[in-house]
Structure 1
Amino acid sequence: MRERGRTRRLLGLGARTGGALLRTRMGGQADWRALGEALFEGLSELKGPAMKLAQIMSQWDDLLPPDLAEELARLQRQAEPMPWEAIRRTLDDHYGELEAVFREVETRPFASASMGQVHRAVTHDGETLVLKVQYPGLGEVLEGDLAQVRRLMRLGRWFKVPQARLDALFEELAASLRGELDYHAEAEALARYRRRYADWPGLEIPEPLPDLSGERVLAMRYVPGTPLRELEGADDATRQGIARTLADWLTEELFTFGELHADPHAGNFAADDQGRLVIYDLGAVIPVPEARLAAMMRLLEATLDGDPMAMDEALLSLGGRQGQGAPLALYRDAAEAVSALFAPGEQDFGDVRVHRRLRELSPRVWAAMDRLQPPADTLLLSRTLNGHYWNLVRLGARLDMRSRTDPLLAWAGEQP
């Protein structure tokens, strides 16, 4: 009965979303704020894959209607927590008698997301830990939810997105969600990253505690910090330090280790009282093949050169366009908008003119969707990089991206 109720609610949200999209295609006006509020309320309670998909969509700030993007973004910071009684049952199943292991466990989570929530706990020795607890029954409803998400994603055909790419996006989402249920893999990733970045003074990664962790509970030492999404009011030195560390870390991940933290929403990052970047969640880490990275850098080089023909050729080699490609004028205008961040010297990621140019291009991008598509095998990578870009925007980062990029472009030119 509960599964049928979830299905009806997901289908109802899908119908409401489809109606809004249909009105816009017919030249009408959709109430994006009302739709966003409905999606927030429904998905916040349902949790799981559909909520995760909405969180992913919320990171496309430059493409979604502003009112809709703003409401979906609430899912990253205000998602309703699951009642303590349900979480307590999961903890009791794992630990047996909870009071025998912990002196105290806070009943109200200090973080809640699509697949689980986090509670502080104090051991009998007085040490503060955090317990990441998977939502009860999530494994059982996952496949059913994914089936409904696949139906919802058919709406993408209204934007001329080919079925093959919709299928690729679905498979990417499904693999990511299934992976996020594996807390053993996340504990291993935390340990690996702690070893990898042990000598980085500006980076802090919580220590996993295998003896207290299991299939549905991940225990870590508590690392306090101010969430990245709350740093807008922090002093400039703190924000710039965090931004530089984030940019350095992403470059190291991609070009040295060939992988990337693939869940960039702002709640996964914080600044501690020493100004270090804290990475809380490593439930999604993806490999980035060297050949794919080199191809993307060649596209960036063509973009910075303002060469629309080279951009088209690079997209073709990536599998990112079909037919005759996008209009050359769209390539030129996109290159002009993007290049502003790569001009010589320090550039301000908070410059609203850059975002305005990108947003003004979005209707033309959607209009060219039958010819210009994100490559099917880089959807998650592209989405992740976009999410990290917006984290830098939130920080008001000022970075010399040209000096950072030139050695990487030279590296790409040396690849076969």
Structure 2
Amino acid sequence: MRERGRTRRLLGLGARTGGAVIRTRLGGQADWRALGEALFEGLSELKGPAMKLAQIMAQWDDLLPPDLVDELARLQRQAEPMPWEGIRRTLVEQYGDPDTLFREIEQRPFASASMGQVHRAVTHDGETLVLKVQYPGLPEILEGDLAQVRRMMRLGRWLKVPQARLDALFEELAAGLRNELDYQAEARALARYRERYAHLDGLVIPEPLPELSGPRVLAMRHVAGTPLRELEAGDDATRQRIATTLADWVTEELFTHRELHADPHAGNFAADEQGRLVIYDLGAVIPVSDAHLKAMMALLDAALANDPMAMDDALRQLGGRQGQGAPLALYREAAEAVAPLFEPGEQDFADVRMHRQLRDLSPKVWAAMDRLQPPADILLLSRTLNGHYWNLVRLGARLDMDARTRPLLEWARG
């Protein structure tokens, strides 16, 4: 009965979203703020994969209407927690009686997300841990939600995205969501990242505790920190230190280890008391191929050279083109918007002129969808890099992107 009610609510939200998309496509006006409020209220209660996908959408700041993004972004910080009774059932399944292991478990979570929530716990020895607890029944809910998401993605045909491309996008999203249910894989990722990045003094990754972890509960040592989104009005020196560490870490992830933490929303990052970057969540880690890296760097190289034909060639390599006639004017505008960030010397990510240019491009990208298409194979990769761009914007980062990217461009050309 509850499953049918969930399906009806998802279908209702999907129909409302579809109506807004269709009105816009036909030249009308959509109330994106009202739609965002409805999605926030519905998905905050439903949680699960549908809420996760909405959080992903909120990171596409440069493509979606700002009013819709603002409302969806609330899902990253204001989602209502699940009642304690359901969480305790999962803890009992994992531990038997949790009281034998813990002196106290806070019933109110300090973080509530789409697939689970995080509770502080104190052992009988007095050590403070955190328990990431998966919502009850999530594997079954996942498959039901994915069926509804597949139906909703048919709206992409109104944007002239081919069905084969929509199917490929869906499969990459579905695989990523299924992987996030494996908390034991996340524990292994935490251990791997702790060892791999131990040389980065400015980076902190919580230590997983395998003896207290299982398929649906992940136990970690507690690492206190100020969330990244709360640093925006904070000390500039701390923000610049965090931004530099974030940029160094992402670059090393991609170009040294060919692996990427693929959930860049601001709630997964913080600064500790020493001004170090804390990474809380490694539930989504993806491999990155040389071919995809080289094609993305070729696209950047062509944009910096303001070469629309080379940009089109790179997009074709990435699977991001369809139909006849490259939108060369759009390529030129995109190149002009991006180029200032890569000029020699320190560039300011807080410069609103560039963001405004990127936002102004959004309706033109949608209008050119008969010739462009989402590159399905790099959906999570491009979404992650986009998310980190906006994290650097929030931090007001000042970075020399020319010095950072020049050796990478030379590598891609070789």
State the TM-score bracket (shorter-chain normalisation): over 0.9
Aligned to 1:151: 151
Contact 2:327/2:371, CA 8 A, preserved across alignment: no
CA pair 51-325 structure 1, distance change in 2 beyond 3 A? farther
Q: Matches of 1:165 and 1:79 in 2, distance apart?
A: 32
Contact 1:162/1:370, CA 8 A, preserved across alignment: no
Q: Matches of 1:244 and 1:322 in 2, distance apart?
A: 37
Q: Matches of 2:87 and 2:357 in 1, distance apart?
A: 45
Q: Where in structure 2 are the equivalents of 1:301-340 lying within 5 Å?
A: 301-340=301-340
Q: Which SS does the other structure have where 1:60 is aligned?
A: coil
Aligned to 1:400: 400
The more displaced of 302-311 and 317-326 is 317-326
Aligned to 2:121: 121
Contact 1:312/1:325, CA 8 A, preserved across alignment: no
Query: Are residue 101 (structure 1) and residue 88 (structure 2) matched?
Result: no
Query: Are residue 5 (structure 1) and residue 9 (structure 2) matched?
Result: no
Aligned to 1:273: 273
Question: For residue 264 of structure 2, what is the amino acid of its counterpart?
Answer: P
Determine what percentage of the aligned residue pairs are the same residue: 83
Q: Matches of 1:173 and 1:375 in 2, distance apart?
A: 13
Aligned to 2:386: 386
CA pair 38-392 structure 1, distance change in 2 beyond 3 A? same
TM-score by length of 1: 0.98
Q: Matches of 2:288 and 2:325 in 1, distance apart?
A: 26
Q: Which SS does the other structure have where 1:219 is aligned?
A: strand
Aligned to 1:409: 409
Contact 2:25/2:159, CA 8 A, preserved across alignment: no
Query: Are residue 22 (structure 1) and residue 46 (structure 2) matched?
Result: no
Aligned to 2:252: 252
The more displaced of 164-173 and 31-40 is 164-173
Aligned to 1:287: 287
Residue deviations 1:372-395 (CA, integer Å, cap 9, x gap): 123221111111111111111111
Q: Matches of 1:65 and 1:315 in 2, distance apart?
A: 24
Contact 2:109/2:120, CA 8 A, preserved across alignment: yes
Displacement of 1:26 in angstroms is 3.0
Q: Matches of 1:111 and 1:372 in 2, distance apart?
A: 38
Q: Which SS does the other structure have where 1:369 is aligned?
A: coil
Q: Matches of 1:325 and 1:289 in 2, distance apart?
A: 29
Displacement of 1:76 in angstroms is 0.8
Residue deviations 1:63-95 (CA, integer Å, cap 9, x gap): 111111100000111111101111011111111
Q: How many residues matched?
A: 414
Question: For residue 396 of structure 2, what is the amino acid of its counterpart?
Answer: G
Q: Matches of 2:29 and 2:365 in 1, distance apart?
A: 20
Displacement of 1:322 in angstroms is 1.7
Aligned to 2:199: 199
Question: For residue 217 of structure 2, what is the amino acid of its counterpart?
Answer: V
Contact 1:49/1:149, CA 8 A, preserved across alignment: no
Aligned to 2:165: 165
Question: For residue 352 of structure 2, what is the amino acid of its counterpart?
Answer: V
Displacement of 1:361 in angstroms is 1.0
Q: Matches of 2:87 and 2:376 in 1, distance apart?
A: 37
Displacement of 1:325 in angstroms is 4.2
Contact 1:326/1:368, CA 8 A, preserved across alignment: no
CA pair 116-325 structure 1, distance change in 2 beyond 3 A? farther
Task: Calculate the aligned-residue CA RMSD, in Å.
Answer: 0.9
Question: For residue 98 of structure 1, what is the amino acid of its counterpart?
Answer: P
The more displaced of 312-321 and 404-413 is 312-321
Q: Matches of 1:320 and 1:328 in 2, distance apart?
A: 14
Q: Matches of 1:318 and 1:88 in 2, distance apart?
A: 45
Q: Matches of 1:28 and 1:366 in 2, distance apart?
A: 14
Aligned to 1:179: 179
The more displaced of 322-331 and 285-294 is 322-331
Displacement of 1:363 in angstroms is 1.1
Q: Which SS does the other structure have where 2:232 is aligned?
A: helix
- Structure 2 residue runs of 5 or longer lacking an equivalent are none
Q: Matches of 2:242 and 2:162 in 1, distance apart?
A: 39
TM-score by length of 2: 0.98
Question: For residue 13 of structure 1, what is the amino acid of its counterpart?
Answer: L
Displacement of 1:411 in angstroms is 0.7
Displacement of 1:171 in angstroms is 0.7
CA pair 325-78 structure 1, distance change in 2 beyond 3 A? farther
Q: Matches of 2:303 and 2:325 in 1, distance apart?
A: 15
Query: Are residue 262 (structure 1) and residue 262 (structure 2) matched?
Result: yes
Q: Matches of 1:146 and 1:314 in 2, distance apart?
A: 31
Question: For residue 62 of structure 2, what is the amino acid of its counterpart?
Answer: D
Q: Which SS does the other structure have where 2:63 is aligned?
A: coil
The more displaced of 365-374 and 72-81 is 365-374
Question: For residue 180 of structure 1, what is the amino acid of its counterpart?
Answer: E
Q: Which SS does the other structure have where 1:28 is aligned?
A: coil
Residue deviations 1:108-132 (CA, integer Å, cap 9, x gap): 0010111000000000000000000
Runs of 4+ in 1 over 3 A off after TM superposition: none
Q: Which SS does the other structure have where 1:62 is aligned?
A: coil
Residue deviations 1:87-108 (CA, integer Å, cap 9, x gap): 0111111111111110110010
Q: Matches of 1:173 and 1:315 in 2, distance apart?
A: 21
- Structure 1 residue runs of 5 or longer lacking an equivalent are none
Q: Matches of 1:364 and 1:169 in 2, distance apart?
A: 21
Q: Matches of 2:102 and 2:49 in 1, distance apart?
A: 31
The more displaced of 22-31 and 359-368 is 22-31
Q: Which SS does the other structure have where 1:103 is aligned?
A: strand
Contact 2:9/2:42, CA 8 A, preserved across alignment: yes
